[in-house]
Amino acid sequence: MQAREADVAIIGAGSAGLSAWHAAHKHADNVVLIEGGKFGTTCARVGCMPSKLLIAAADAAHHARDAGGFGVRTGPVEVDGRAVMTRLKQERDGFVGHVLESMKRIDEADRIEGHARFEDPHTLIVDDRLRLKARTIVIATGSRTHWPKLFEAAGDRLIVNDDVFAWDELPQSVAVFGPGIIGLELGQALHRLGVRVRIFGKRGSLGPFRDQALHDYADRTFNEEFYVDPEAKVEAIERDGDGVIITFLERHTGKRLTERFEYLLAATGRRPNVDRLGLENAGLALNDAGVPCYNRFTMQCRNVDDSASHVFIAGDANQELPLLHEATTQGRIAGDNAGRYPEKRAGLRSTPLSIVFTDPQMATIGQNRALLEQRLGGCECIAVGEATFDNQGRARVLRRNRGLIRLYAEHGSGQFLGGELFGPQMEHIAHLLAWSLEQRAGVNQMLEMPFYHPVLEEGLRSALRDLSANLQQGPAIVERCMEHGPGD
pLDDT score at 6: 97
Identify whether residues 139 and 277 lie together within a single domain: yes
The verdict on residue 220 lying in a domain is yes
Identify whether residues 60 and 184 lie together within a single domain: no
pLDDT score at 261: 98
CATH code: domain of residue 378? 3.30.390.30
91-126: pLDDT as tens digits: 999 998 888 888 878 888 899 999 999 999 999 999
Identify whether residues 71 and 114 lie together within a single domain: yes
Identify whether residues 197 and 63 lie together within a single domain: no
Nearest to 466 by CA among 446, 436, 487: 446
Tell which of 229, 248, 268 closes a domain: 268
Tell which of 268, 285, 318 closes a domain: 268
pLDDT score at 102: 82
The verdict on residue 185 lying in a domain is yes
pLDDT score at 75: 85
Q: Residue 342: is the preceding peptide bond cis (ω within 30°)?
A: yes
pTM of the entire structure?
0.92
Tell which of 301, 318, 340 closes a domain: 340
Burial of 174 (0-12, 13-18, 19+ CB in 10 A): buried
Range of the domain at 239: 149-268
Give the CA angle between residues 279, 283, 289 to the nearest 5°.
45
Identify whether residues 16 and 118 lie together within a single domain: yes
The verdict on residue 488 lying in a domain is no
Residue partners of 451: CB distance under 8 A and separation at least 6: 457, 458, 460, 461
Identify whether residues 65 and 7 lie together within a single domain: yes
pLDDT score at 474: 59
pLDDT-flagged residues of the chain (< 70): 378-379, 474-488
Residue partners of 331: CB distance under 8 A and separation at least 6: 15, 16, 17, 18, 19, 20, 23, 138, 140, 314, 315
* CA–CA dist 131, 125 (Å, integer): 5
Residue partners of 446: CB distance under 8 A and separation at least 6: 416, 436, 464
pLDDT score at 43: 79
* CA–CA dist 462, 392 (Å, integer): 9
pLDDT score at 478: 43
Identify whether residues 95 and 180 lie together within a single domain: no
Identify whether residues 7 and 140 lie together within a single domain: yes
pLDDT score at 370: 82
Identify whether residues 361 and 279 lie together within a single domain: no
* CA–CA dist 181, 356 (Å, integer): 6
Give, to the nearest 10 degrees, the angle between helix 48-65 and helix 181-192. 40
Identify whether residues 331 and 475 lie together within a single domain: no
Contacts 24+ apart (CB under 8 A), 482-488: 482/377, 483/377, 484/377, 484/378, 484/380, 484/381, 485/377, 485/378, 486/373, 486/374, 486/375, 486/377, 486/378, 487/374, 487/378, 488/377, 488/378
The verdict on residue 346 lying in a domain is no
CATH code: domain of residue 249? 3.50.50.60
- Report the SS3 class of residue 235: strand
Identify whether residues 21 and 102 lie together within a single domain: yes
pLDDT score at 475: 52
The verdict on residue 19 lying in a domain is yes
The verdict on residue 345 lying in a domain is no
430-459: pLDDT as tens digits: 999 999 999 999 999 999 999 999 999 999
CB 37 within 8 A of CB 340: no
Nearest to 118 by CA among 106, 135, 132: 132
Identify whether residues 23 and 139 lie together within a single domain: yes
The verdict on residue 348 lying in a domain is no
- Number of structural domains found in the chain: 3
